[in-house]
Amino acid sequence: MLDNTHFNSPAVLKDIEAETQAIGFTLSSDQLTGTLLRTLAASKPGGKLLELGTGTGMGTTWILDGMNATATLSTVDRDADVAALARKHLRNDTRVTFHNTDARLFIAAQQEGSFDFVFADTPYGKFHMLDETLKLLKSGGLYIVDDMLPLPDTEPSHFDRINRLVETLEQRTDLRITKLNWSTGIILAAKI
């Protein structure tokens, strides 16, 4: 089995990828992560999904591709210029709502148990405000983070943040976690 072929990518992804490269944005989710996000989103029919870190919409596109017609996605990014690319290509999808705000402000304004799925692709929701973010999940909700594997140019302080996050998630009794040494490094957690 080859996991890097036949992605069956969403049609709009090619245009988003090209424009992402053109503006030099390098923090997008990769295709392997995207396929996982699509599969996990499909497991939440009619669900309320949250993406912390819209970026140019690469992850957003995959999540939307997995969602059914009654599911909704809130996606949050403070950088309006970068997120404008996602809005440009995805604005006609009525299931998605774009929030141009800081993730920490968005997290703080939400009610506990509001979401069935949280993809945390920003420091807030991953390395900061973890407890507050996990409280947003309903029982059975999924929490997903990527970029857990260090890259060659990763600063040593980032290793420490990754290790602290992993240790914290491992110690929580309200989660069941799986650590995937795959793609950019994924942690998948289900709230019990």
Reading the chain (192 residues) residue by residue, the pLDDT tens digits are 566 666 788 888 889 888 888 877 777 678 899 999 999 999 999 999 999 999 999 999 999 999 999 999 999 999 999 999 999 999 999 999 999 999 999 999 999 999 999 999 999 999 999 999 999 999 999 999 999 987 767 777 888 999 999 999 999 999 999 999 988 899 999 999
> In three state form, how does the secondary structure of the chain look?
CCCCCCCCCCCCHHHHHHHHHHHCCCCCCCHHHHHHHHHHHHCCCCCEEEEECCCCCHHHHHHHHHCCCCCEEEEEECCHHHHHHHHHHHCCCCCEEEEECCHHHHHHHCCCCCEEEEEECCCECCCECHHHHHHCEEEEEEEEECCCCCCCCCCHHHHHHHHHHHHHHHHCCCEEEEEECCCCCEEEEEEC
Enumerate domains of the chain plus CATH numbers.
13-191 (3.40.50.150)
Cβ neighbours, 10 Å, residue 84: 17
